[in-house]
């Protein structure tokens, strides 16, 4: 319709003002919600042709369009804006075409598909996944589905931070205090067990620091000279040197963690096409750094550490290899980026990483660019905000994180309590009930997180997320289940729908409003892919659910006597359910058929 309106406005200007108007001067946009109309023409750029006031120009063009273009039912002018109302006949015809299209996303397909890597999760093997990881994984996985739906070739990747000083902390603590404890002997998931020893290390380390400070040692010196920290550094050196005992311990404890991660990923419904490990990519990174050093792109400090001077880029100087030759995070990120490009020749590599790492990715791009990797411009940091609880931030070292497994379990239990209170599952088998509780619980968790603009910090409140009213996942799921219930009843009574009858039906206000909203689905998905924002789709699904429920409340469907009208409303319900299902699928949310 926007394209047609542009052509009609060009025609109007030519007839009314004897002038040819450039396409870029015709600005058509959707009418704001607080004004009457469907599309708005910005009149100001056309005043050069009309030689009149904005109000008079709008009135003249509006009158011409209503007279010459039957699909325009009316208009109004607010200052320099001409608001056009599209006829109900056009909307019904648009909906009829919509029902025979093979896909609701045809208009969101990109003309030039790209190869895009999306990196998400990026866990450390010294602790279990927590609430922050949940937001990361849900954003990354949804982004993969949205970009894929628009026609891009998308590869889901993960980089596991399985080496470094923090990993050695858990290893050393287990070695000293573990007494051979294993996941099997303790009954704990492997990632939980290893995380337990990371917290224990920090507790013992703090005690040693405090003891040294009380003995008169400076705080910074105490942190560096504490026996546990010295042993941890020695373990890291042994690891990089390939010491068999250390490597065997590392492999054993990591295997526990990976098994635990896999369980959590399965519960969340996320997966990966390719997993990279820092223990591999840091080697590539070191090779790249040493090669750049020979070309004088980097410099060696007096203590033998290797640095990048990025002051000409408005950044600072960045350490890439420590004086003892061990690698830092930036080293492995350099290696990972190069390894990925060599493997996939990507157009974009999107890093789903929290906003506390904004500077890190500026530096990564600058170093790669300095080294001559021109594709580094395709590295995109999808910087998302932190997620907190009502009581404040989580701290891994102090063991105050919200464990992902515990939260998933809590959400499903809350879903069970709420569902049983409503008393609508009495005829469900226990297995069916468990499946519904799982879908509702996870749907509530995922939706609550994904409905927030990813760039904003957010507070997750489990109690608010499971509510069958309001902007929640269960509300949208319930709307979908309600539509499915209508069709089960229609099938039981032998009522059939016929798309052809759409031309015979007259639509009411709510029906037309629903069609207008359905039209926005493809555009919303396209915008979500452009903005990297699943929140746009989440809130669209809520708006559509709310609009449908108002329609459902105001209009009878199966009880309608007029067959054509009844069938029209059934088809409208069917398309609504399809788009709700597709939209929530893009968010990784399952939709129960009954609730």
Q: 265 with 405: CB under 8 angstroms?
A: no
Backbone phi, psi, residue 444, to 5°? -65, -45
Q: 411 with 441: CB under 8 angstroms?
A: yes
Q: 427 with 356: CB under 8 angstroms?
A: no
Backbone phi, psi, residue 20, to 5°? -90, 130
Q: 352 with 139: CB under 8 angstroms?
A: yes
Entry field: residues in the chain? 595
- C-alpha dihedral sign at 54, 55, 60, 62: positive
Nearest to 233 by CA among 205, 271, 269: 205
Tokens of 302: 């007096």
Angle between helix axes 404-422 and 244-268 (nearest 10 degrees) is 20
> What span, in angstroms and rounded, lies between the C-alpha atoms of 40 and 191?
56
Count CB neighbours of 587 within 10 A.
26
Q: Is 559 exposed, middle or buried (0-12, 13-18, 19+ CB in 10 A)?
A: exposed
R_g of the chain computed on alpha carbons: 30
pLDDT at 391: 64
Bridge partners (DSSP) of residue 84 are 39, 75
Q: 103 with 365: CB under 8 angstroms?
A: no
Residue tagged 């929290």 (tokens): 354
86 — alpha (psi -120 to 50), left (phi > 0) or beta?
beta
* String of DSSP letters for 119-150: E----BTTS--BHHHHHHHHHHHHHHHHHHHT
> What span, in angstroms and rounded, lies between the C-alpha atoms of 583 and 522?
10
Bridge partners (DSSP) of residue 327 are 321
> What span, in angstroms and rounded, lies between the C-alpha atoms of 464 and 474?
11
Three-state DSSP state, 273 = coil
> What span, in angstroms and rounded, lies between the C-alpha atoms of 389 and 448?
13
- β-strand pairing of 317-321 with 306-309: antiparallel
Backbone phi, psi, residue 83, to 5°? -95, 120
pLDDT at 400: 53
> What span, in angstroms and rounded, lies between the C-alpha atoms of 213 and 218?
6
pTM for the full predicted model:
0.90
pLDDT at 85: 94
Nearest to 141 by CA among 487, 370, 382: 382
> What span, in angstroms and rounded, lies between the C-alpha atoms of 572 and 169?
59
Angle at 24 between CA 22 and CA 29, to 5 degrees: 125
Question: Cα–Cα distances in Å, from 64 out to 3, 54, 491?
Answer: 18, 15, 48
Which residues of the chain are under the pLDDT cut of 70? 391-400, 496-505
> What span, in angstroms and rounded, lies between the C-alpha atoms of 242 and 254?
16
Full set of structural domains in the chain with CATH: 2-86 (3.30.1360.70), 120-388 (3.40.50.620), 409-586 (1.10.730.10)
* String of DSSP letters for 375-430: GGGGEEEEEE--EEBTTB---TTTT---BHHHHHHHHHHHHHHHHHHHT--TTS-H
Nearest to 588 by CA among 462, 472, 461, 473: 473
pLDDT at 394: 44
Query: How far does CA 288 lie from the centroid of its chain?
Result: 32
Count CB neighbours of 527 within 10 A.
16
Helix (H) or strand (E) holding 116, with range, is strand 115-119
């Amino acid at each position: 319709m926007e394209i047609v309106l542009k052509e009609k406005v060009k025609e109007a200007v030519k007839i009314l003002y004897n002038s040819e108007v450039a396409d870029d001067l015709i600005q058509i946009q959707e009418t704001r919600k607080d004004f009457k109309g469907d599309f708005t023409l910005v009149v100001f750029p056309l005043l050069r042709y009309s030689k009149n006031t904005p109000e008079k120009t709008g009135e003249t063009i509006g009158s011409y369009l209503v007279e010459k273009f039957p699909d325009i039912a009316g208009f109004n002018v607010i200052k320099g804006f001409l608001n056009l109302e599209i006829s109900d006949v056009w909307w019904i015809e648009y909906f009829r075409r919509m029902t025979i299209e093979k896909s609701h996303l045809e208009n969101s397909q990109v003309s030039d598909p790209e190869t895009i890597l999306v990196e998400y999760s990026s866990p450390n093997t010294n602790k279990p996944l927590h609430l922050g990881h949940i937001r990361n994984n849900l954003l990354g996985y949804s982004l993969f589905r949205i970009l894929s739906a628009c026609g891009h070739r998308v590869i889901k990747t993960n980089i596991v931070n399985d080496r470094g000083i923090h990993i050695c902390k858990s290893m050393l603590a287990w070695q000293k205090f573990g007494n051979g404890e294993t996941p099997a002997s303790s009954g704990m998931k492997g990632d939980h067990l290893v995380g337990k020893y990371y917290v224990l290390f920090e507790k013992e380390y703090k005690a040693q620091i405090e003891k040294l400070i009380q003995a008169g040692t400076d705080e910074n010196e105490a942190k560096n000279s504490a026996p546990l920290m010295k042993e941890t550094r020695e373990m890291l050196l042994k690891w990089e040197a390939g010491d068999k005992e250390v490597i065997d311990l590392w492999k054993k404890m990591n295997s526990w963690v990976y098994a635990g991660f896999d369980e959590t990923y399965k519960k969340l419904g996320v997966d990966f096409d390719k997993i990279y490990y820092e223990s591999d990519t840091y080697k590539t990174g070191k090779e790249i750094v040493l090669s750049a050093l020979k070309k004088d792109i980097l410099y060696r400090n007096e203590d033998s550490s290797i640095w990048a001077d990025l002051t000409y880029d408005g950044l600072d100087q960045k350490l890439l290899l420590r004086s003892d030759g061990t690698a830092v995070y930036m080293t492995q990120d350099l290696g990972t980026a190069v390894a990925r490009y060599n493997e996939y020749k990507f157009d974009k590599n999107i890093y789903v990483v929290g906003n506390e790492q904004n500077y890190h990715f500026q530096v990564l791009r600058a170093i790669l660019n300095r080294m001559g990797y021109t594709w580094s411009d395709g590295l995109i940091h999808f910087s998302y905000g932190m997620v907190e609880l009502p009581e404040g931030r989580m701290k891994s070292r102090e063991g105050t994180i919200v464990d992902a497994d515990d939260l998933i379990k809590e959400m499903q239990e809350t879903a069970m309590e709420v569902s049983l209170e409503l008393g609508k599952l009495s005829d469900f088998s226990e297995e069916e009930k468990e499946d519904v509780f799982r879908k509702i619980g996870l749907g509530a968790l995922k939706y609550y997180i994904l409905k927030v603009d990813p760039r904003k910090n957010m507070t997750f409140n489990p109690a608010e997320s499971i509510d069958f009213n309001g902007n929640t996942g269960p509300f949208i799921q319930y709307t979908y289940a309600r539509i499915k219930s209508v069709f089960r009843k229609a099938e039981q009574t032998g009522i059939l729908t016929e798309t052809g009858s759409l031309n015979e039906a007259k639509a009411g206000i709510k029906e037309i409003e629903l069609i207008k909203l359905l039209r926005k689905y493809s555009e919303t998905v396209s915008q979500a892919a452009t903005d990297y924002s699943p929140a746009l789709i989440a809130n669209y699904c809520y708006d559509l659910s709310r609009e449908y429920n108002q329609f459902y409340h105001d209009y009878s469907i199966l009880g309608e006597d007029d067959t054509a009208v009844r069938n029209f409303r059934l088809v409208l319900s069917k398309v609504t359910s399809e788009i709700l299902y597709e939209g929530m699928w893009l968010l990784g949310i399952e939709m129960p058929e009954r609730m």
